[in-house]
Amino acid sequence: MRLDPGFSAAWAELALAYVRRRQLVFDAAQRDPGLAKHAAQRAIELDPDAGPAYAILAGLAYIAEFDWPKAEELFMRALGVTPRDVGVRSAYASFLMYSARFEPSLREYDVIQALDPLEPGIRCNKGALYFYWRRYDRAETLLTHALEMTPHDVYARLLLADTYAQSGRPEESLEASRQLITIAPDYANSYVYQARALYLLGRAAEAAATMSGARARFDDTSITEYEEAMLHVAQGDAVSALDSLERHALRRANGAHCMVVDPTFAALRGDARWRSMLKRVGLPDFGPLDA
């Protein structure tokens, strides 16, 4: 960019880099979407047909601003100018998934797979879709295949542990979390997932000891309110789970947009307090999501 500040694609790539950094940090100042927005807007100023830049703004609209209608409008613009861009279509497929529009999301992922059949991440992405869609058998199949191709894929291992937990297989969730610890011993969520499985198995003392060790090892930002809510649900504590989720969403913290479709919180969805919490924080309520 220093060589050619008028190169639109470089600004779009810079915006994407800012977005990816935002996904990896927990400090509020470092998660400010302003830099990514500025870079994406600059890309569009230089090239009004910069589809990837519109897609980046669309992602920020629903992830950082909780504005699903704005995101839809921006994605339509992105797809209108770059309909065959794999990155744009993948971002749109994720948006559809987090909008509880599972069948359209699957169609998008099928298009992506046709455009780039060798992309290994497509199985993991489809596995995530089937997990949020509550189609756990299909999720397990795709995530297992993804891990055969990329055994160190932490996201796929998290999703597989989630899939086992939500399909009533806590022993397998525990084993998946132990494998996760082997792969990613310096990742706090590895221990959160192990503790969640232990709570589901009724082994509360072991779960508490696991979390005590994790909290002593990792700083306060590494285990968010979202993970705390998962643990509260596993212990049957709806009040604490809702409180944790509300605090997480009010911070616009990492993954807050996921809670609207995450089956981890299925037990909360029929509670009037769930709906009022979503309204207070500005998240949409997609209603019943049973498979």
Longest dimension (CA), the chain: 61
Q: Flag whether pLDDT at 253 surpasses 60.
A: yes
178 vs 16: CA distance, rounded Å: 33
CA-to-CA dists, residue 84 to 54, 67, 73, 87, 118, angstroms: 14, 25, 18, 9, 16
Q: What is the mean pLDDT of residues 211-235?
A: 96
CA-to-CA dists, residue 141 to 135, 144, 173, 179, 216, angstroms: 10, 5, 15, 17, 36
Residue 240: what pLDDT? Answer: 98
Q: Flag whether pLDDT at 163 surpasses 70.
A: yes
Percent of the chain with pLDDT over 70: 93
Domains of the chain as residue ranges with CATH: 1-119 (1.25.40.10)
58 vs 37: CA distance, rounded Å: 10
16 vs 2: CA distance, rounded Å: 18
Q: For the whole model, what pTM was predicted? A: 0.92
- Tokens 């397998």, residue located: 172
Tokens (6 digits) for 196: 């969640």
Residue 28: what pLDDT? Answer: 59
